[in-house]
Structure 1
């Protein structure tokens, strides 16, 4: 059996590995020969945080997303499973209480507990939530590992051209030519280097208007993100967003005032109107799309559902019933 996948971002690579691992001959088409800044998944935070995402996401994201960490680890991707620490500044205490009521599970942490979990933050906060069943990965390392895994499974990488067999469209926002209800949600991020600072897990700093997260990448490097702007425009990080992100990092710890800004990045996440990812069969093409801010969390789930649908004739939970 041969299938053609269009798009070699995180969704396309997950689908290629899942199908090739089940004996399908896969051709993966993408205009670029390697992963890079042209892909939305290049700029992701890499948080596998289904519980925290449940603050605003559909119940299916929280439930199904709990498969992700094990799937990534099975592909040889390095996973750090230290959970997530959720904090709020004194003036935003109500945000911490609100967040706690909206997620499925957490452990309250006092000032002493914060100091144990993250010595860098000792004495700076008196309350936090530790969401333990969560993890994170380095997205760029994960993309490289998936490409290597796909190559080992004899996936063929080509530029766009004629398709062979079943076509699976994983082009993200570029698929609006076939999915008119797909929209872009712009996200902006910064990559910082602060050699004297260390965190052991992603930290979310709540704010009623600009919540941020800081994800450690090792060797004093941190990903700081991320805004959510209803726009399909890629462009550059705006001055306003950079000021807000850096101000939040400084509020978390003043040591970030001396950090070096390594990169700024922005891209538009593909999302359907309800922000739920889905599989959609249209004109014989199977679309896997609408990952929104849950790319690394939900791409493995959609890939597994696509394989079960195509090979086992199993109707996926996330198949779009409204668009047969």
Structure 2
């Protein structure tokens, strides 16, 4: 296979995954990003949860997410060999309901998943507290979702950077301002290439006219906490809930930290953390897992998800030699393997993975 010059614009989880896979396939790769490994990927929760994220009308996103989830164990194993283990957790997910309205929503989700052939187990509040003893007595019931996994996002980013380096990818610490056939315009001049891949997350819409208006920033705040010697241990698996209409998740880390997220609202490119956002997260988490009130608060941060107009990402060719790999919304970490494999397949003139066709940017025309 001819070694192409590939410019990957964006160094988050998607860009780094594409860079690693493309470099490992023998391509000459340059990643263009002023701060690779940061951005929204750095403050992500790490959930790999196509089932728990599913909802009626979003079948294409479910299929693409499940295709990527199937690739995750092999992706993690190969990454461990090239750059280090990404902290993949196979413990599964629980989704809990606190009141009648929450329980009704989960019943809709369970019925929907059953109708499309994805089974989850509905359990009582008592059973849920046996599964996760730290849950509040107010939990009425919920769903057990053993197939949804989690990953340590920061371990993953460090591993991807190391793997890309090891496979020969180069890094250009500049900000891209435009991507067109054959070149990427940066703050320091033009970078020529055979193929450009736009993986710049929430900033992608400013780089190519076909993405203008199709990708927008969606702000999310997260907290990182750590159990103390006198507090209850974190849950053993990811815990998700909706509290007063707001989604809440608790994702444990192997090192004892607990990631609490996430607010979600339109705020343009504002990445400041608000007092209200922190209060809502802590109040919501205490209603689900009361012991968290005794935890050490380690970090507060905000990131900008790359939201698309229909929950699906944009994967495919925009024009001669320019590919989109952006707009993954809440599922950037989940869909990193299938996205990277799709780009490498296109570079080789091969068919992309199942489900990718539905995410082609041309669907908006």
Counterparts of 2:289 and 2:171 in 1: how far apart (Å)? Answer: 44
* Mapped contact 2:134–2:235 kept (Cα < 8 A): yes
Q: What residue number does 2:47 align with? A: 47
C-alpha displacement of 1:209: 1.2
Deviations for 1:170-225, whole angstroms, at most 9, x for unmatched residues?
Answer: 11122222221221111111111223322111101223511201101234311111
1:310 matched to 2:347: yes
Report the equivalent of 1:89.
Answer: 98
Deviates more, 1:15-24 or 1:41-50: 15-24
* Residue 18, structure 1, aligned to residue 51, structure 2: no
Q: Is the 8 A contact 1:82 1:132 kept in 2?
A: yes
Aligned to 1:180: 212
Would the alpha carbon gap of residues 57 and 232 (structure 1) be closer, same or farther in structure 2, given more than 3 Å must change? farther
Aligned counterparts, 1:46-85, within 5 A: 46-55=46-55, 58-66=58-66, 67-68=68-69, 69-70=72-73, 71-76=75-80, 77-85=86-94
Aligned length: 321
Equivalent runs, 1:120-269 vs 2, <5 Å: 120-121=134-135, 125-160=139-174, 162-177=191-206, 178=208, 179-181=211-213, 182-195=215-228, 196=231, 197-269=233-305
Corresponding residue SS for 1:282: strand
Of 95-104 and 290-299, the range deviating more from structure 2: 95-104
- Distance in 2 between the 1:189 and 1:57 partners? 28
8 Å CA contact 2:219, 2:305 repeated in 1 = yes
How far apart, in 2, do the equivalents of 1:233 and 1:102 lie? Answer: 35
Question: Is the Cα–Cα contact under 8 Å of residues 136 and 287 in structure 2 kept in the other structure?
Answer: no
Shift of 1:304: 1.1
Task: Give secondary structure in 1 for the equivalent of 2:260.
Answer: strand
Deviates more, 1:40-49 or 1:268-277: 268-277
Q: Could you say if the C-alpha distance between residues 122 and 169 of structure 1 is closer, same or farther in structure 2, counting changes exceeding 3 Å?
A: closer
Separation in 2, partners of 1:255, 1:207: 17
Q: Relative to structure 1, is the Cα distance of residues 275 and 96 closer, same or farther in structure 2, using a 3 angstrom cutoff? A: closer
1:107 to 92, 113, 121: 121
The change in CA–CA distance for 1:131 and 1:268 in structure 2 (over 3 A counts) is same
Determine the C-alpha separation between the residues in 2 that align with 1:73 and 1:232: 37
CA distance, structure 2, for counterparts of residue 62 and residue 10 of structure 1: 20
Q: Deviations over 1:73-107 (max 9, x none)?
A: 43222211111101111344323323323333211
Alpha-carbon contact 1:86-1:203 (below 8 Å) kept? yes
Indicate if the aligned counterparts of 2:13 and 2:157 stay in contact, CA closer than 8 A: yes
Shift of residue 148, structure 1, vs aligned partner: 1.1
TM-score, normalised to structure 2's length? 0.81
TM-score, with structure 1 as normaliser? 0.91
Q: Deviations over 1:45-99 (max 9, x none)?
A: 1101111111367223222223332223432222111111011113443233233
Match of 2:184 in 1: none
Q: Is the 8 A contact 1:191 1:264 kept in 2?
A: yes
In structure 2, relative to structure 1, the CA distance for the partners of 1:224 and 1:31 (3 Å cut) is: same
